[in-house]
Amino acid sequence: MSWKYSITLSSFKNLEPIEKTLENLKYNGFDAVEVYGEPDSIDITRISQILDSLSMAVSGVTGMWSSSNSNSKFRKLVTNDNNALRDVKNYVKKCITLCHFLGGKTFNICLFSDPPLTIDGNHKSLLRDDKRKLISASIDPVRELAQYARNYDVDLLIEPLNRYSTPICTDSEDARYMVEQLYQENVGILLDTFHMNIEEDSIEDAILKTGKMLKHVHVSDNNRKMPGLAHIDFKSIVAALKKINYMKFLTFEPTVQSTDYKNDLKYGLEHLRNLSKIQ
């Protein structure tokens, strides 16, 4: 099985001129990227022109839910602050229109909340019933955003994050519950192997149970490096994706700390390509 491969531009943010990054990605075998969601601070026209010149596609837009941007404190969908909720909905709508303009199809929704349930503010799991109450509080605004996204042919993807990011939606079961409550055709699930390695009893079982709800996958190893550079069993992950006939993008989301990243990119891409050929 041959999947479409993409990589997150947020991994290379502020590392080097974006032209250089895109040229390197194209040269190293990537035909698509996931653009980071900062519509107010990126030159959309320039990025579009560079992508066109390289014949590179856009798989979607990555929501910068916990970025260092000064507005990140407003990116909370579980909040009692009406102004914060208004701001985050406006942010998502801007990212949706950005995604549509660039020809992308997906935008990820992550659930952050008011203190004390903040990033790195909670290092323990909430009870499942408590999480579901918090998830339920986000249903109406996310349904509104899904209806907005439908007009732009964009899928909203619920992405569970590990407990050190948010205690609210942390695993595939939480995400499935949220998708079922939303009941919108253009809402699905994004699973990320880095977060799954922390939260899931079995990454393979989580993929199988998610099934047709799975519309996008982020891949990196347990240390946030490219697949194959640490200990996650990507062979079983690939096998599970084949079992559910997953046919959409696999998007790499590594942490890149220097401009000397080309060999790691090649290795990770070839690692997954080779595993995908195993019958």
What is the block-wise mean pLDDT of the chain (279 residues), using blocks of 10 residues?
89 95 96 96 94 98 76 78 94 98 98 75 78 96 98 98 92 98 98 98 98 98 98 98 97 97 97 91
Per-residue pLDDT, 100: 98
| CA–CA distance, 116 with 185 (Å, rounded to integer) | 33
Per-residue pLDDT, 278: 85
Per-residue pLDDT, 70: 47
Domain range enclosing 194: 4-276
Looking at beta carbons, which pairs linking 263-266 to residues 24 or more positions away fall under 8 Å? Answer: 264/225, 264/226, 264/229, 265/7, 265/24, 265/25, 265/28, 265/29, 265/30, 265/226, 266/28, 266/29
The answer, as to whether pTM is greater than 0.85, is yes
Per-residue pLDDT, 269: 97
- For residue 100, the Cα-to-chain-centroid distance in whole angstroms is 17
Per-residue pLDDT, 73: 62
Q: Where are the beta strands (DSSP E) in 97-207?
A: 106-109, 155-158, 187-192
Count of structural domains within the chain? 1
CATH number at residue 254: 3.20.20.150
Q: At what angle do helices 44-54 and 82-102 cross, to 10 degrees?
A: 30
Per-residue pLDDT, 246: 97
